[in-house]
A and B are shown apart, each in its own frame.
Chain A
Amino acid sequence: MTETPPQTAEPPAQPSWGSAGVGLLRTRLTRASSSLRALGTLFALGLIWLFFALESQYFFTTSNIWNILLQAANIGIIAAGLTVVMIAAEIDLSIGSLEALAGSVAAVIIIQHHQPFWLGVTGALGAAVLAGAISGLITWKLKVVSFISTLAMLGIAQGIAFLLTNGHAIAGFGNPYDQIGTWTIDGFPGAAIIAAGVFVVLHLMLTRTTFGLQIYAVGGNPEAAAYAGIRPGRVKLIALMISGLTGGIGGLILSSRLDAGNGLFGAGDLLAAVAAVVIGGTSLFGGVGSVVGTAIGVVMISSINNGLILMNVPDFWQQIVVGVIIIAAMAVDQLAKAARLAVR
Chain B
Amino acid sequence: MSAQPKQSGREPVLEARGISKSYGAVQALTGVDIALYPGEVLGLVGDNGAGKTTLVKCLSGVLRPDSGEIHIDGDVQGELTAERARTLGIETVYQNLSLVDTLDVMQNFFLNREIVYNNPVARPLRWMNRRRMYRDTDAHLKALSLPVDARRPVSALSGGQRQMIAVARAITWGRHIVMFDEPAAALGVRQSIQVLNFVRSMAARGVAVLFISHNMQHVLQVTDRIVVLRHGEKVGDLATAGATAQQIVTLITGSELVVEGQDISV
List A residues at the B interface (Cβ < 8 Å): 1-3, 5-12, 14-17, 19-20, 23-24, 26-27, 29-31, 208-211, 213-214, 216-217, 219-221, 223-231, 287-288
Contacts A/B (CB < 8 Å), 12 sampled: A5-B140, A7-B205, A11-B144, A19-B161, A23-B158, A27-B153, A27-B156, A209-B128, A210-B128, A216-B102, A220-B101, A225-B100
Bound complex: CA A80 to CA B127 (Å): 20
Q: Is the CB of A228 within 8 A of B111?
A: yes
CB distance from A128 to the nearest CB of B (A): 23
B101 neighbours in A (Cβ, 8 Å): 220-221, 287
Residues of B close to A213: CB separation below 8 A: 103, 107, 111, 114, 128
B147 contacts A20, C-beta separation under 8 Å: yes
Could you tell me the distance in whole angstroms from the C-beta of B90 to the nearest C-beta in chain A? Answer: 10
Cβ A15 vs Cβ B157 within 8 A: no
Residues of B within 8 Å of A216, CB to CB, are: 100, 102-103, 107
Name the residue of chain A whose CB is nearest to the CB of B153.
A30
User: Which of chain B's residues have a CB closer than 8 A to the CB of A9?
Assistant: 197, 201, 204-205
B4 CB–A CB distance under 8 Å: no
Q: Would you give the shortest CB distance from B163 to chain A, in whole angstroms?
A: 13
A229 to B86, CA, bound (A): 7
**Do A208 and B145 contact each other (CB < 8 Å), given the known contacts A3-B173, A12-B197, A19-B158?**
no
CB distance from A87 to the nearest CB of B (A): 9
Closest chain B CB from A238 CB (angstroms) = 13
Is B115's beta carbon under 8 Å from chain A?
yes
A15–B99 touching, CB < 8 Å:
no
The interface stretch among B187-195, B227-235, B239-247 is: B187-195
Q: Is B98 a contact partner of A227 (Cβ separation < 8 A)? A: yes
- B62 and A226 form a contact (CB under 8 A): yes
Partner of B155, one of A14, A24, A30: A30
Contact A227/B194 with A5-B173, A30-B155, A217-B103 known, Cβ cut-off 8 Å: no
How far is B105's CA from A144's CA once the two chains are assembled, in angstroms? 32
CB contacts (< 8 Å) of B173 on chain A: these are 3, 5
Given A6-B175, A8-B143, A220-B101: A228 in contact with B82 (beta carbons within 8 A): yes
Determine if A3 and B111 form an interchain contact, defined as CB atoms under 8 angstroms apart: no
What is the total number of residues of chain B having a CB less than 8 Å from a CB of chain A?
62
CB of B147 within 8 A of CB of A227, answer no
**Cβ contact within 8 Å between A220 and B190:** no
Contact A26 B156 (CB under 8 A): yes
Cα–Cα distance between A17 and B112 once the two chains are bound (Å): 28
Closest approach, in angstroms, between the C-beta of B212 and any C-beta of chain A?
Answer: 16
Residues of B within 8 A of A231 (CB): 83
B188 contacts A16, CB within 8 Å? yes
A11 partner, pick from B86, B151, B160, B194, beta carbons under 8 A: B194
Find out whether the CB atom of A8 lies under 8 angstroms from the CB atom of B112.
no
Given contacts A15-B145, A226-B62, contact A23 B188 (CB under 8 A): no
* B113 located at the interface, meaning its Cβ lies under 8 Å from any Cβ of chain A in the complex: yes
Contacts of A221 in B (CB 8 A): 99-102
| Contact between chains at A229 and B112 (CB < 8 Å) | yes
- Expressed in whole angstroms, the minimum distance between the Cβ of B183 and any Cβ of chain A is 14
- With a cutoff of 8 Å between Cβ atoms, the chain A residues found around residue B111 in the complex are 213, 217, 224-225, 228, 230
Instruction: Give Cα distance in the complex from A230 to B202, angstroms.
Output: 26
Q: Which of A2, A11, A19 contacts B198 (CB 8 A)?
A: A11
A14 to B116, CA, bound (A): 34
Given contact pairs A20-B147, A217-B112, a sample of 15 additional A-B residue pairs in the complex whose CB atoms are under 8 Å apart: A1-B118, A5-B172, A23-B152, A27-B149, A27-B156, A208-B127, A210-B114, A211-B126, A213-B107, A213-B114, A217-B107, A219-B102, A225-B100, A227-B60, A230-B111
Q: Contact: B156 with A30, CB < 8 Å?
A: yes
* Alpha-carbon gap, A228 to B102, bound state (A): 15
A286 and chain B: residue at smallest CB distance: B102
B82, closest chain A residue (CB): A229
CB within 8 A of B92: which of A217, A227, A287?
A227
B26 interface residue per 8 A CB criterion = no
> Which residues between 94 and 126 of chain B lie within 8 Å of chain A, taking CB atoms?
94, 96-103, 107, 111-116, 118, 125-126
- Give Cα distance in the complex from A221 to B191, angstroms: 26
CB distance from B166 to the nearest CB of A (A): 9
- CA separation between A221 and B112, bound complex, in Å? 14
Tell me the smallest distance from the CB of A127 to a CB of chain B, in Å: 26
Alpha-carbon distance between A5 and B174 when the two chains are bound, in angstroms: 8
Chain A nearest CB from B39 CB (Å) reads: 13
